[in-house]
Amino acid sequence: MRALVMNKAVLRIQSLNNIFQAIPGVASLLFFFLFETTHGGRTLYPLPSKQDSTSKQPLQTSRPYNIAHRGSNGEIPEETAAAYMKAIEEGADFIETDILATKDGSLICFHDVKLDDTTDIANHTEFSDRKRTYEVQGVNITGYFVVDFTLDEIKSLRVKQRCPYRDQQYNGKFSIITFEEFIAIALDANRIVGIYPEIKNPVLINQHVKWPNGKKFEDKFVELLKKYGYKGEYMSEDWLKQPVFIQSFAPTSLIYISNMTDSPKLFLIADVSMPTQDTNQSYWEITSDSYLEYIRNYVIGIGPWKDTIVPTQNNYLTTPSDLVDRAHAHNLQVHPYTFRNENIYLHFDFHQDPYAEYEYWIKKIGVDGLFTDFTGSLHKYQVWAAAAATDENNAYGLLHKIALMISSYEK
């Protein structure tokens, strides 16, 4: 028995020798290694007690991505550490965030260019002279702008829930986090969790925030990703270790960074009435076949508002557009936004059932990722739908086998 095993090992080494003959030294190393692993007549597996404790459950890549939009913000105030940790606990594949910059050039996670709607800025009388009016995407807006506050000042504020119909108990409990703190949350997770940061309002940020050596917002954004080891093309070994999708509504930002990082990028597409913030192109122009053909050189997917993919009328769905089919024809993924459980967002077709909405988008429209405010719901839907599909396959497979057995007796 021992001799037989040895012979097998030697045979394996001989064929490996052929492979490695060009690399002297490698084969002899392999010989030693293989002898060890076949010693005793069976392959030696790593002992569970000796497993590398740093190895993490990998990113799932077999079904559409669960993208935790601003964290689990259906439950906890958006873009806070608590919202992101909750999303990870609930099964997010990616945690999503909006990156803006402070007056002193720090990158932070915050959605609006103004602090007014989701912080307690109104109660900080020390900042009452900071109110400004700026033109943002062609509209004059007045309020307390992120770009007029230093990071220390931003950190003195507390975040509150945006939506009145959501849980208010966390108001005033959490602070705004930096991009680095956000990255740390993803990297500290006990499984591999991707990040999905947006280069937010780059036109406004570059107008108001200046960095040394003429660096731009996009430069700082990519620098930070690289500093923490985010690199590699979609599905590469590096990417799977630290998955990232970079997103932006501004095509020029995505094209500008294309020479700086090979991390996958997604082009966000707003409502049909909104021109792009940097190039002033219409929805129809940027969703045309010729534009998709162009932008696919820089991005691996698009992120459209879901009601532009399937327009609605009187809160019912109408005929789906061909955008998903055309994007797929250009080998572009489609990650629509934003899925929300509340009745006010669910079209009547889904009879107030968010699972029915997920089923429609995943099974019928065939999207590749979904931005959701309720990561837990999407996760549960996907786990249960996968289990149901397996049961069906098993039952079908069993019936098929029985049918074959019966027919072979009949012969």
Ligand X SMILES: *[C@@H]1O[C@H](CO)[C@@H](O)[C@H](O)[C@H]1NC(C)=O
Listing DSSP states for 338-387 in one string gives -B--STTTS-GGGTT-HHHHHHIIIIII--SEEEES-HHHHHHHHHHHHH
x/- string (CB under 6 A) for ligand X, residues 141-160? -------------------x
Contacts of ligand X in 263-282 (CB under 6 A): 275, 280
CB of 25 to ligand X, least distance (A): 39
Segment lying near ligand X (by CB under 6 A), choices 53-61, 211-219, 255-263, 320-328: 255-263
CB of 172 to ligand X, least distance (A): 5
CB of 158 to ligand X, least distance (A): 7
Q: Which two tokens stand for residue 115?
A: 């602090």
The H-or-E segment that residue 333 falls in is strand 333-334
The answer to whether residue 128 forms part of the interface with ligand X (CB under 6 A) is no
The answer to whether residue 140 forms part of the interface with ligand X (CB under 6 A) is yes
Segment lying near ligand X (by CB under 6 A), choices 12-20, 26-34, 136-144, 182-190: 136-144
Which is nearer to ligand X, 73 or 276 (by Cβ)? 276
CB of 246 to ligand X, least distance (A): 14
CB of 145 to ligand X, least distance (A): 14
Helices and strands of the chain, counted as H and E runs: 15, 13
Listing DSSP states for 276-319 in one string gives PTTT---HHHHTSHHHHHHHTTT-SEEEEBHHHHS-EETTEE-P
Whose structure tokens read 């080998």?
Answer: 331
How big is the site for ligand X, counted in residues (CB under 6 A)? 13
Residues 291, 285 contacting (CB under 8 angstroms)? yes
Q: Which residues on neighbouring strands pair with residue 246, listed in sequence order?
A: 265
Sign of the C-alpha dihedral, residues 231, 233, 237, 239?
Answer: positive
Rg (the chain; Cα; Å) = 26
The answer to whether residue 258 forms part of the interface with ligand X (CB under 6 A) is yes
The answer to whether residue 203 forms part of the interface with ligand X (CB under 6 A) is no
For residue 97, count CB atoms less than 10 angstroms from its CB and return exposed for 0-12, middle for 13-18, buried for 19 or more.
buried
Across the chain, which distance is largest between two alpha carbons, in Å? 92
Segment lying near ligand X (by CB under 6 A), choices 131-139, 181-189, 336-344, 389-397: 131-139
x/- string (CB under 6 A) for ligand X, residues 346-385? ----------------------------------------
CA of residue 10 relative to chain centroid, distance: 47
Among 16, 30, 63, 120, binds ligand X (CB under 6 A): 120
CB of 262 to ligand X, least distance (A): 12
Contacts of ligand X in 170-199 (CB under 6 A): 172
CB of 392 to ligand X, least distance (A): 48
CB of 152 to ligand X, least distance (A): 19
CB of 118 to ligand X, least distance (A): 9
The answer to whether residue 255 forms part of the interface with ligand X (CB under 6 A) is yes
Segment lying near ligand X (by CB under 6 A), choices 137-145, 224-232, 244-252, 333-341: 137-145
Which is nearer to ligand X, 249 or 358 (by Cβ)? 249
Per DSSP, the three-state class of 149 is: coil
How far is 215 from 103, CA to CA, in rounded Å?
A: 14
272-288: b (≥16 Cβ within 10 Å) or e: eeeebbbeeeebeebbe
Which is nearer to ligand X, 146 or 378 (by Cβ)? 146
The H-or-E segment that residue 55 falls in is none
CB of 275 to ligand X, least distance (A): 6
Q: HSE-up of 295 (CA within 13 Å, CB side)?
A: 28
Among 62, 125, 190, 259, binds ligand X (CB under 6 A): 259
Point out which residues bind ligand X (CB under 6 A): 120, 123, 135, 138-140, 160, 172, 255, 258-259, 275, 280
